[in-house]
Amino acid sequence: MSTNGLHVQPLSGAIGAEISGVDLGAAGHNTIAEIRKIWLDHGVIFFRDQELPPAKFLAVAKQFGEVVEYPFVKGIEGFPEIIPVVKLEHEKKNFGGIWHTDTAYLDKPPMATMLVARETPPFGGDTLFANMYLAYETLSDGLKRMLDGLIAINKSAKADVTKTREDRVKDSGKTEAKKEYVSEHPVVRTHPETGRKALYVNVGHTAHFKDMTEEESAPLLNYLFQHQTRPEFTCRFSWKPGSVAFWDNRCVLHNPVNDYHGHRRVMHRVTLAGDKPR
């Protein structure tokens, strides 16, 4: 599919599209507006062979929203808003290596994330994405009615996700970062731009339902965690240096696959400010 000179190739039937025919670093306002429409339609979009050194990468991200800093890890030198997403040859855990939406434990989680590949392993290191509109829409009417009134408690200190950031906190952690962030968000949120409802829980951050214990919440949450990453809701992206992914944290989960032990993977990430989920 072509639109205004951009070629759009969907990655799956559920989510994701690769856009070609554009140099992001030179894109004008009209092109950026068209890219945003495609992004809202597909949840996550991808680009190849982009020459985006840090200053230009940051400038591109700022055309889509306000860039905000990550609370736990320092940015790269000279660019505090750009954090390194790195797995080194000797490391076994990968940063964020679990299904999640970025920093759902904040009162105002980011609207979006943009990631550019700097160094990629000779094999592996793909990222999976899942469509939370479909995760909600395919639930039964009875379960939808139950979930529509529930509030989720999200925590930054859930054990599994904490382990995935240990290496980076160890070598580049922020000394002023809180030890734990906790937020309350609706289990089902309404996207402020599309008006569609999306399931807004994730195994990386959601600890329990408000006014319920973790033990009471676990059966339903575990069902939702399994349901929301069904293969038919997902796409998979393989990285090369210069590849860019841009995803909507309000309706998309992601999971970097940790299948390249012994090899280096270096990415740069920025996040864009969002609003309080409703």
d(CA 17, CA 36): 12
Among the listed residues 42, 102, 167, 191, the single catalytic one is 102
Burial degree of 277 (CB within 10 A; 0-12, 13-18, 19+): buried
DSSP state of 42: H
| Active-site residue flag, 100 | yes
| Active-site residue flag, 254 | yes
Among the listed residues 191, 254, 265, 268, the single catalytic one is 254
Length of the chain: 278
| Active-site residue flag, 160 | no
In contact, 44 and 248? CB cutoff 8 Å: yes
Among the listed residues 100, 165, 168, 250, the single catalytic one is 100
Contacts of 151 (CB under 8 A, 6+ apart): 184, 185, 186, 187, 209, 210
> How far from 121 is each of 76, 114, 117, 133, 261, CA to CA, in Å?
21, 20, 11, 32, 9
Among the listed residues 168, 191, 265, 269, the single catalytic one is 269
d(CA 175, CA 25): 33
Active site residues: 100, 102, 254, 269
